[in-house]
Structure 1
Amino acid sequence: MYMNPSQYPGHHGSQVLYQADPNWQHEMMQKRNTIMGALHPHVGRTIRVTTLDGHTYEGVLVNVDGHHAYLQVNTHAQHHGQHRPIYTPAQYNQILTLVLFELLVIVLLA
């Protein structure tokens, strides 16, 4: 159900910084459900994911829910001997949480 931000309790006098078009909500929910349906049968398999921002990740899909895909990546193998970014944890197997809305391309590898 769509509510105007001014209708929310406790938000009197608040300034709206962003408000999505109410018609956009239905389409985004359909896209999210499509992506989740495409991924769910492949839990446990290796995939490559490219995000809207152009980042590419490869790893095992360990879970998918209504909002996120969880990808276990091997950061050591991921960078193939290149310098690892400073923001990458020093773990070799980590689980990335990827937002379904931000996934642009998903490729099944194995």
Structure 2
Amino acid sequence: MSNNVYTPGQVVYQADNQHVEAAKGVREKLHGICKQRLMNRHVMVKTIDGHEYEGIIVFIDDGNVYLSLAQDEELNKRFFPYGGFYGPGPVNPGGAILPLVLYNLLAITLLT
């Protein structure tokens, strides 16, 4: 059985170049699509972890897309059926902005 003791300065993981280039390609493609075609548009975003968010893309930087979440109470019930941190009720009453990492996006669907 191996002893998982790491020493300072030891590399414990390094992505291979093929993976790095593929991830950069995905990031660049999504950045271009969001910046040129989807800014200020109502979208549904699905992450690779299966989470879905609905809102408006309000900003994008090199690694993230920023989504202004839906404030509609019915939409909140659909995405957060048990409410927020403080129990039932609207979980986004102030129009929170959610940063989503471009690497983690699986799909973006234009809704309107």
* TM-score normalised per structure 2: 0.75
CA distance in 2, matches of 1:86, 1:58: 19
What residue in structure 1 maps to residue 66 of structure 2? 70
Tell me which residue corresponds to 2:100. Answer: 98
Looking at structure 2, the residues matched to 108 and 46 of structure 1 have their Cα atoms a distance apart, in angstroms, of 6
**Partner of residue 16, structure 2:** 21
Q: Deviations over 1:17-47 (max 9, x none)?
A: 2211122222211111111111112111100
CA contact (8 A) 2:77 2:83 kept: no
What is the aligned partner in structure 2 of residue 9 from structure 1? Answer: none
Cα distance in 2 for residues equivalent to 1:31 and 1:24: 11
Cα pair 2:57 2:66 within 8 Å, conserved: yes
1:60 counterpart residue number: 56
Q: CA deviation at 1:13?
A: 4.4
1:79-110 Cα offsets, whole Å, 9 max, x none, are 2283213289x641100000000000100011
Unaligned 5+ segments in structure 1 are 1-11
Match of 2:76 in 1: 79
TM-score normalised according to structure 1 size: 0.77
The 8 Å contact of residues 69 and 92 in structure 2, kept in 1 or not, is answered as: no
What amino acid is aligned across from residue 25 of structure 2 in structure 1?
Q
Aligned equivalents of 2:59, 2:19: Cα separation in 1 = 27
| Distance of aligned partners of 1:109 and 1:31 in 2 relative to their CA distance in 1, 3 Å threshold | same
Length, aligned pairs only: 99
RMSD: 2.5
SS of 2:84's partner is coil
Alignment match, 2:109: 107
